[in-house]
Structures are given as C-alpha cells and as structure tokens.
Amino acid sequence: MRPGDSYDEIVAEAVRDLIDDGDVVVVSDKAVAAASGRIVDERRVKPSSLAKFLALFWNRVIWGRFLSIFMGFQSDTIHNLRNYPPQAAAHKEVALRYAGLLHALRHTSEGGIDLCNLPGVCAAIPLKNPEKAAKRIWEKIYAKTGKRVIVMISDSDRTYSLGPLRVTPLPRAIPGIVAGLGFFAYVFGRKLGEKMRSTPVAMYGGWLGVEKALDIAELADDVRGFGAGETVYEAAARFGVRFGEVTVEMLESIDHYPVVVVKRR
C-alpha cells in the first residue's frame, strides 16, 4: 500500500471472495500506517546530540560490544551494530520524537518504527489508534460482503511470555499484553521469555483471547514472510545497492502479503 491508498477498500476487495463468518483477517500494522501517510523521510530529519550518542556510541559500543554478546546475536547482526552508519542518527532522532527514550534504547525497531520494505531511508510510524483502523476495515468488509469476521492489526515485533505475563516492547497491544516497556521488555523478554510471537495490536469484530490472538498473529506473520528482507541490510543486499538506495520500483518487484486470512475450522 502507498500513502493515500484507501486501506479499508484494498483489504475488503482482497478478501471478499475468501472469507466466511468467523474468519480472522490479519492486516500488517506497517501497511496501514504507510497508507495512512505515517511515513517519515529520515533524510529530512536533523539528529540531536542525544540521537548521535545513541547511534555512534550506544548502538556501536554498548549494543555492538556488550549487549549483542549477552543476547547471543548472530555474527552478521553484531557486525552491523558495530558499523552502525552515522547517518542513521536521524533514525534515532525519529525514535526519540515519536516513541521516546525508553524505545530509542533498542538497537532496532525502536517503538515499532520500521525501515524494512520501504524506499530510501523512509520509516513507518506505528498507528496511534490501531483499534480505529481495525473497525474501519471491519465495517468496509461487512458492507461489501455481509460477513462477520474478526479484523486483527498485527506487528511482527515480538510479544514474550514470562510465566503468566505477556510483554512486548511495542507502545501498544491488545488487552492482556503489557506494552510500552521498550528496551526492558526486549532485553528481559528475549533473554528469559519462554515463548515469543508476533504481536496483535488491535482487534475488532470479536475477542479471541490473548493466547489464541498471539498464535494467529504469529501464524499470519509466518505466512506473510519478510518481503524484500528481514532487515534494511538484507533488502539492500538483495537488490545489490547500498543502505538507503532501495527504490519503490525495486520493492514492487517483490511479492508482499500485508493481508492474511486465517480460516475458522
């Protein structure tokens, strides 16, 4: 979806011949955010001193030399962190402005802000009110088909199971998941969590319960795949260009699946 697209119309058209009552229509938060114009071109962002510190010391040294080892990251991730590009300080500035310091302390996907599968150095800012978007999609689907489905907005960022707790670094999630803990939820969740799954950030049209919602969000994410790449580095390598040089035309040459229908048994 491109900025300005009617995401509710696109989703309803995509699923109209596939759905039955009770099915779950899972829609990518990033796709809806992009269509809603929640895109920031980081080339136009001037980083603050704090953003530069986070990019050039926090990410390169604290994450690249210490936390990455503690967390058991793979060697390519460690390499990327230790060579975090200076121009990415603008990304840290975007994280500070739209999510806050607690989220900007993460090494990537700060506050759910994402550069993957977007052109140049554009970042998608998560929806402020995903429940409203889910309702809008549900109403359009019902108007077109008369089917009563459950619409879920999901994010590939993880929710971690810590005993009876379900925690996510993301700023928002469905009731029953503790959200907004940013850096701390990521570090402790990834290190100590018993299970990690994609995060349902909103639902409309019914309630699945937290565990079933998490399972469905993870299933949809598995089916959806990573598009051009799981990281901006993978996407650039795939197209043989440098960081920040991926174009819209390159991305549109790859199949994307922002909408997944999970059928009721």
Give the 3-state secondary structure of residue 124.
Answer: strand
Enumerate the β-bridge partners of residue 196.
160
Cβ neighbour number for residue 86 with a 10 Å cutoff: 11
Average pLDDT for residues 220-228, to the nearest whole number?
85
Q: How confident is the model at residue 3 (pLDDT cuts 50, 70, 90)?
A: confident
Average pLDDT for residues 59-86, to the nearest whole number?
95
Q: CA 232 to CA 246: how far, in whole Å? A: 9
Q: Is the pLDDT of residue 244 over 80?
A: no
Q: How confident is the model at residue 100 (pLDDT cuts 50, 70, 90)?
A: very high
Q: How confident is the model at residue 214 (pLDDT cuts 50, 70, 90)?
A: very high
Which two three-digit tokens encode residue 188? 């402790």
Query: Mean pLDDT, the chain, as a whole number?
Result: 93
Give the 3-state secondary structure of residue 95.
Answer: helix
Left (φ > 0), alpha (ψ -120 to 50) or beta: where does 163 sit? left
Average pLDDT for residues 99-118, to the nearest whole number?
93
Domain ranges of the chain: 21-29+148-229+258-262, 40-124
Q: How confident is the model at residue 121 (pLDDT cuts 50, 70, 90)?
A: confident
